Structure 1
Amino acid sequence: MSETGKKLPSSCMAKTTSYHGRITTEEQSQENNYMKYIDIEHWSRKEHFQFFSRRTFPFYNITLPLDVTNLYKRVKEDGLSFYYAMTYIVTNVMSGIEDFRYKIRNDGVVIVDRLHPSFVTFDETTHLLKIIDIEITPGMDLSSFCAAASKAEREMTSHFSTSESSVRDDFVYISCTPWFSFTSMSHAADCNPNDSAPRIAWGKFEWKDGKVTIPFNVQLNHRLLDGYHVHLLMEGIENFIQGYQEKIS
């Protein structure tokens, strides 16, 4: 991955840096998340961005099986929530892949320096869902995130956030259907071709031949991301799980 350059203070300052495209300015934006504007004219993805921009619905869905055997065993041993753990892993892997941090704003493209999860939880009393937003701070490990997520879920009294931060494009929207498996899925969203937030879901555990798998669904904006980037995401998740297993073995 390319260098991201040094972060600037909250005031906007001009800067030139080379990415897959050319960065022209850097400034602080949503919830202290820094962003850098891309010069689309010198961006290697310019043609693809323009091609898919001509589509009124530039989104696509992919569902793949994901082997989570080792992660399932380890989080159970550590007394952690599998759902929280997967939420942390998916968000961190996406943050580590530059292309997932591209965001379309005002028909331009920016790159933010990190992503955060906005994830669905289930209220066992009301049988209604809640959406929890968590900031992943630098240095936050999996265990700390699980503790923060559990605390946020317990303390949230409403079902949905009423703050403006709930529509941030540096969120990864995550949900799960633990009651059933699936082979495809669509996600609730506005038909806004500028929508750059990835949407992730996985389904019920499936046990077979000693392995635990889940159906893993991704919805992305084709203006920014292709099937190759789904491959990078899946590879990154698998590598993270392997590293987590080895670290605590």
Structure 2
Amino acid sequence: MDALRPIDLASWPRREHFEHYRERVPCTYAMTVDVDVTELVEALHDTPIRSSVAQIWALSTVVNRHDEFRTALDPTGTPAVWDVVHPSFTVFNPDRETFASVWSPHHDDFATFHRAAAAVIDRYRTATSMAPQDDVPANSFDVSSIPWASFTGFTLAIQDGWDHLLPIFTIGRYRRAGGRTLMPLAVQVHHAAADGFHTARLVTEVQDLLGSPDTFTRSAASAARPAVTATAAPR
């Protein structure tokens, strides 16, 4: 069972910043960056690895490295940190032109994650409800994709969303520029949880991970093996 561990407020360096952006000036901010995926796209061509799953795993891996992106409020409203958070992502149903929001457990091993997440996508690609799974954990963060359009800016306006501290990601369509393949990535962050420094570090680490395709291609043979079941693997 994933634990939500209270933060020691007396020794927390972010206490003053948290209280400022949670109580006095509650706000979120968004950053949109271009992630260079040139080598990744070339490396995954003609392999069984799904680039969308690689993107989600890279985000989940980096998010789980840093406490500030696993910060949430416990039932008393006190800031706390999850031991691990899991990605929730969208699956498009082209016949209905609607999406389903699904999740798969985070795994440090990419091949393990790929098998589980790909099975979830295949199972729910024809889902007719927005939330077809009944076991979505509280410690999940959102990843959405807009593969039909590229963008240079993207912001969510969440009404009364001041209690939502986990990050939200939106991925856009690849575009070519200067001979490189770029992936738009928007990150929405609650300022009480993280500052610009933390978000800049996050996107830099995502770039480093997606810019190192060996991490993914080493798992190509393993990722191609079918999952045992068509449901998310147990946590």
Q: TM-score range by the shorter chain?
A: 0.7 to 0.9
Q: Contact conserved, 1:116 with 1:172, CA < 8 A, in 2?
A: yes
Q: Quick one: distance in 1 between partners of 2:216 and 2:106?
A: 21
Match of 1:52 among 21, 34, 54: 21
TM-superposed CA distance for 1:245, in Å, is 2.6
The residue aligned with 1:67 is 36
Q: How does 1:107-186 map to 2 (within 5 A)?
A: 107-137=77-107, 139=108, 141-156=109-124, 157-161=127-131, 165-166=135-136, 168=138, 170-186=139-155
Determine the C-alpha separation between the residues in 2 that align with 1:62 and 1:148. Answer: 29
Indicate the RMSD between aligned Cα atoms, in angstroms. Answer: 2.2
Instruction: State the AA in 1 paired with 2:101.
Output: I
- What amino acid is the match of 2:162? P
> What are structure 1's unaligned runs of at least 5 residues?
1-31
The count of corresponding residues between Structure 1 and Structure 2 is 215
Q: Amino acid of the residue matched to residue 153 of structure 2?
A: S
With CA pairs under 8 Å and 6+ residues apart, which has the higher RCO, 1 or 2?
Answer: 2
Q: Cα distance 1:171–1:247, how it changes in 2: closer, same or farther (>3 A)?
A: closer
Cα gap change, 1:191 to 1:89, in 2 (>3 Å):
same
C-alpha distance after superposition, 1:42-95 (max 9, x if no partner) = 211111011112356421111111111122222224222211110111011110
How far does the alpha carbon of each residue in 1:79-131 deviate from its partner, in whole angstroms, 9 at most, with x for none?
22211110111011110122211212332111111111100111122221111
For 2:19 and 2:134, locate their aligned partners in 1 and report how far apart those are by CA, in whole Å.
Answer: 29
Q: What is the percentage of aligned positions where both structures have the same residue?
A: 21
CA distance in 2 between partners of 1:208 and 1:193 (Å): 37
Contact 2:44–2:217, Cα closer than 8 Å, also in 1? no
- Supply the distance in 1 between the matched residues of 2:98 and 2:133 (Cα, whole angstroms): 20
CA 1:180–1:148: 2 relative to 1, 3 Å: same
TM-score, normalization by structure 2: 0.82
Q: CA 1:165–1:202 in 2, change beyond 3 Å: closer, same or farther?
A: same
| Alignment-mate amino acid for residue 41 of structure 1 | A
Q: CA deviation at 1:190?
A: 4.5
Structure 1 segments (4+ residues) deviating >3 Å: 162-167, 246-249
User: Which stretches in structure 2 are left out of the alignment for 5+ residues?
Assistant: 219-235
